[in-house]
A and B are shown apart, each in its own frame.
Chain A
Amino acid sequence: MSQGKSALMKHENRWFFIFILPWIIGFFSFQIGPMVYSLIMSLCNWEIISSPKFIGLENYKTFFTDPLIKQCFKVTFLFALMTIPTGIVLGILLALLMNQPVKGITIFRTLYYLPAVTSAVSAAILWIFVFDPQYGILNYLLKRYFSIQGPPWLGSETWALPALAIMSLWGIGGSMIIYLAALQSIPTQLYEAAEIDGANSIQKFFSITLPMLTPAIFFNLVMGIIGTLQTFTQAFVTTNGGPANATLFYALYLYNNAFRYYKMGYASALAWMLLIIIFVITRIVFRTSNWVYYEAESR
C-alpha cells in the first residue's frame, strides 16, 4: 500500500517540476544572476561608472546609522497603513457595485478601470493639477461645498503623503477586476441553495460571498504589502521626496542613491534589507492565513 502511495507521490512530484519548468528556466536565466550580482555589490562601494571596491559589511553598518532610513520607514509604512486596508475594502465594495446587473454597468466598469490603465507618469501630472492649492479641483470643491480652506496638499509636510495615498487609491480599478473575476467564479448554486434555506442578502454575503472572496483578498493583501513597500513612481514624479523628506519613500531613497548619488553599493544593501523585511512580513501573513478558504483544500 505504502509503495503504491510513494510511487504516486513521485509521479506527482515529477509532473510538478515539469509544469514549473518554464519558470525554473527563467529563474536561472534572468533572475538569480542579477540577484546574486546585486548581493555582491551590496558588499562594495560602486559608483557605476567606475569599478566596484570591496568594503565588506560597511554598507549594512551605514544602514543602521543613516538618519534618513528612519524617515524612509516612517513614510513607507505610514503609506502602507493608509492604503492597504482602505484599498481592500474599497476594492471589494467597488467590485460588488460593479457586479450589479444594472443597465450600462459595462460602461461604468470601463470608466472605473480607466485610472488603472493610465501610465503612472500621466496620472501624476493629472493629479498635480487636481491638488493645486489655488485652482485645483479638490480645494475648489472643498471651499465651495464644505467651506474648508484646503491645505497646500503636495506642498505641505503633513498633507503630501495623504495626497499620494489618495492618488494611489484612485487606481483601485486594478484590484477591482480581480475581485470581480472572483465574484464571477462563485457558483450560483450556492446562492440558490442559500435562498432555499431562507437566507437574506446580508447572510448570503457573509457566509458565501466573503469566504469565496478570501483567496482574492489574500492575494491583494500580500501583493499590497510587497508592492506598497516598494512604492516609487508616484513620489518620483510628483514630489521627489519632498517637502523636507515628507514623502521620501524607501524605494525613492534607494533610487536616488543608485542613480543620482552614484552609490549603487549602498543602494544594493538597501534593496537586500528591504527584501528581508518584506520576506519576513509575508511569511507571517502566510503563516496566519487560515482565514483563507480554498475550495480545493476544503475536503
Chain B
Amino acid sequence: MLKKCLVGVLILVLSISMTLSFTPLASAKIKIRYAHWGANPWIEARVKAFNSSQDEVEVVFEPMADYTTKMIIELSAGTAPTVFSTGIWADLGTWMRRGVLKDLTPLIERDKKELDLSDVNPILLKICQVNKRYYAFPWEVCGVYSTWYNELLFKKSGLAIPPDNWTLNDFITYAQKLTKDTNGDGTPDQFGVSGLSDWWNVRTHAIAFKGAFMYNYDGTKFLGDSPKVKEALGIIYDLIHKYKVTPSRAMIQAMAATPGAGIALERGNLGMQIRDACWTYFATIADPKVAQFNVLPPPVDPATGKYSPQDIAMTSLSISGSASKEETEAAWKFIKFFVSEAGTKAAYDAVGWLQRPPIHAKQNKYFLQPKEEKFKGIRLDLFTKLSYLYVCPENFAAVNLAPIQGQVLQPGWDKVFDGKMSVEEFLKTVTPQVNKLIQEGLK
C-alpha cells in the first residue's frame, strides 16, 4: 500500500516538473541570422552592441565566403538568413526585382519619425527602391570618389600640392610628371594613375572627369551613344596610349591578390588614384617612409569650370522575402539600431575609425574624427562636403550588372586597353549588347 502511494507521488512529482519545464518563458528570445560577405569589425561591433542593449532579439552574425553564390542558393531554397547585407557587389538590382527581398515600405512609413531621414541624401533612399517600394535600407555611403594621392611622391618629384580647383588638364600634367623610371632599367615603374585596365575603374574616372554617366537615372538604358561618354572614354584612352601614365594589366593584377603588391598607393609607386572613402585602409598598411596619403577633390572639368556631377552608392541591409512577421519585426528592430547613432558609435568605439561616412549627416563626426593617428591630417571631409555633387544613383537600379560587366564590358575594354580597338568601335559594339541584357533583366 505504502509502495503504491510512493509510486503515485513519484509519478505526480515527475509529471508536474515536466509540465513546468515545458511552460514557455514569458519572453522568448527571437534568434535571427545576419549574413555579410566576410568578417567585418564594424558590423560585429554593432551586432554585439545591439544584442547587449535589449533582451527580445538576438542576432547571430554569419560571415560568409563566396557570398553571392551562397546567398542565391539559400534564397532560392528558402533557407536564407533573416537579414543580410546587400549592395552593388551583391546584385541588389536583380534581387530587388525578383521578389526575394521583403518590401520594407510599410515599416519605413510606420517608423518615419524614429528614423528621421531628414539628414539623409534622398538619392541613397532612391537606390533602395524599385517602383517606389523599398527593398533595402542603406547604412553606409560608398562610391563617393575623390582623388587619393601620395604626398611623398609629389614632394620627391618637386610638385606642389594642387589647389582644390585644379583642372583635368592639371591632372594629366601631374600624371605625366609622376610617371617615371626610378630604377634605371628603361621602363617606368612609377605611375601617375592606376586601374585603367579594369572597367569598373574606367567608369569611375569617366564620371569623375566629365560626369559621364554610363546609365540613365533609372538604370534602364546604357548611354553608350552619349557624346559625353565618348569624350570621357577618349580622355582615358589618351591617358593609356598617348600619355602612357598608367601601368600594364599584369602590374595591377598582383595587387588584387596581395595587398601592397603591384602598382598601388601603399607601395609608394603610384601617384594618384580616384577611389572612394574606404581606401583609408591604405594608411593602416603603408610604410610611412614610402607613402603618405591625402585627398584632393576630383579635378574640375575645363569645359564647365566646375566639378562634375558624381554618382553615389551605398551598402544596405535587406530582409529575406520568406521571413515570418515575427522575424521581420525583429530584423527591422536590428536595422534601426544599426543605422542609429548608438550603432554607429558602437562601431566607432570598437575600431577607432569608420571606413565610410554613415548615411546620417549628423553622424559624420564619427567618420571625420578618426582616433587612428595615421589618419590625422587626411582630408576626409572632402567625402562629406562634396555631397551636393551626388546626383545619380549610378548602377544600382541597373539590373544584370554582372553579365554586363563580365561578358561584354570587361572583355571589350581589354581590347581597348591593349590598343586593339578604338573607343568608337568599343562603344558601337557594346551598347546594343548591354541594352539587350538590361531588357532581359527587366522582364
Contacts from A to B (Cβ < 8 Å): 47-50, 68, 124-125, 128-129, 131-136, 152-157, 238-239, 241-245, 256, 259-263
Contact = CB atoms under 8 A, between A and B. Distances in A.
Interface residues of B, number: 34
Contacts of B248: 133, 152, 155
The prevalent SS among residues of A at the interface is: loop
Contacts of B72: 48-49, 259, 262
B402 interface: yes
Contacts of B95: 49
Given A239-B253, A244-B418, 13 more contacts: A49-B72, A49-B100, A128-B258, A132-B262, A133-B251, A135-B261, A154-B253, A155-B252, A244-B411, A256-B406, A256-B407, A259-B72, A261-B407
B371 interface: no
B171 to A, nearest CB: 25
A129 B402 contact: no
B107 interface: no
Contact of B250 (A154, A244, A260, A263): A154
A67 to B, nearest CB: 11
A154 B73 CA distance: 31
A243 B249 CA distance: 9
A134 B249 CA distance: 12
A231 to B, nearest CB: 18
Contacts of A261: 400, 402-403, 406-407
A241 B410 CA distance: 10
25 contacts: A47-B98, A48-B72, A48-B75, A50-B99, A128-B257, A129-B258, A129-B261, A132-B251, A132-B254, A133-B248, A135-B261, A154-B250, A156-B250, A157-B418, A241-B406, A242-B410, A242-B411, A242-B414, A245-B411, A256-B403, A259-B69, A260-B403, A261-B400, A261-B407, A262-B402
A49 to B, nearest CB: 5
A55 to B, nearest CB: 13
Nearest 3 pairs between A and B by C-beta? A155-B250, A152-B250, A244-B414
Count chain A CB atoms within 10 A of each CB in B256, B261, B407 and give the residue with the most: B407
Contacts of A242: 410-411, 414
A50 B76 CA distance: 7
A125 B411 contact: no
Interface of B: 68-69, 72-73, 75-76, 94-95, 98-100, 189, 248-254, 256-258, 261-262, 400, 402-403, 406-407, 410-411, 414-415, 418
Contact of A49 (B98, B253, B400, B415): B98
A74 to B, nearest CB: 15
Contacts of A50: 98-99
B250 A153 contact: yes
A260 B406 contact: yes
Contacts of B403: 256, 260-263
A292 to B, nearest CB: 40
A206 to B, nearest CB: 44
A50 B72 CA distance: 10
A244 B419 CA distance: 12
A154 B229 CA distance: 30
Contacts of B254: 128-129, 132, 136
A238 B250 CA distance: 11
Contacts of B257: 124-125, 128-129, 238
Contacts of A125: 257-258
Nearest to B94: A262
Contacts of A262: 72, 94, 400, 402-403
Secondary structure dominating the interface of B: helix
B68 A134 contact: no
A274 B100 CA distance: 32
Given A128-B254, A155-B251, A259 B98 contact: no
B68 A155 contact: no
Nearest to A129: B258
Contacts of A157: 418
A244 B411 CA distance: 4
Contacts of B414: 242-244
Contacts of A129: 254, 257-258, 261
Given A155-B250, A261-B406, A49 B189 contact: no
A156 B117 CA distance: 49
Contacts of A256: 403, 406-407
B321 to A, nearest CB: 9
A127 to B, nearest CB: 9
A124 B252 CA distance: 16
A259 B74 CA distance: 12
Nearest to A121: B65
B76 A155 contact: no
A156 B197 CA distance: 12
Nearest to A46: B76
A239 B198 CA distance: 12
A49 B258 contact: no
Q: Which of B189, B248, B253 has the most CB of A within 10 A?
A: B253
Contacts of A128: 253-254, 256-258
Instruction: Indicate the member of A131, A153, A242, A262 with the most B CB atoms within 10 Å.
Output: A262
Contacts of B73: 48
B290 to A, nearest CB: 14
A265 to B, nearest CB: 13
A75 to B, nearest CB: 13
Given A48-B76, A129-B257, A260-B68, A152 B249 contact: yes
A106 B403 CA distance: 49
Contacts of A47: 98
B250 A133 contact: yes
A242 B415 CA distance: 11
A256 B91 CA distance: 13
B289 to A, nearest CB: 18
Which among A124, A128, A156, A256 has the greatest number of chain B C-beta atoms within 10 A? Answer: A128
A136 B258 CA distance: 12
A130 B72 CA distance: 34
A50 B98 CA distance: 6
Nearest to B257: A128
Contacts of A263: 403
B164 to A, nearest CB: 34
A134 B415 CA distance: 22
Contacts of B250: 131-133, 152-156
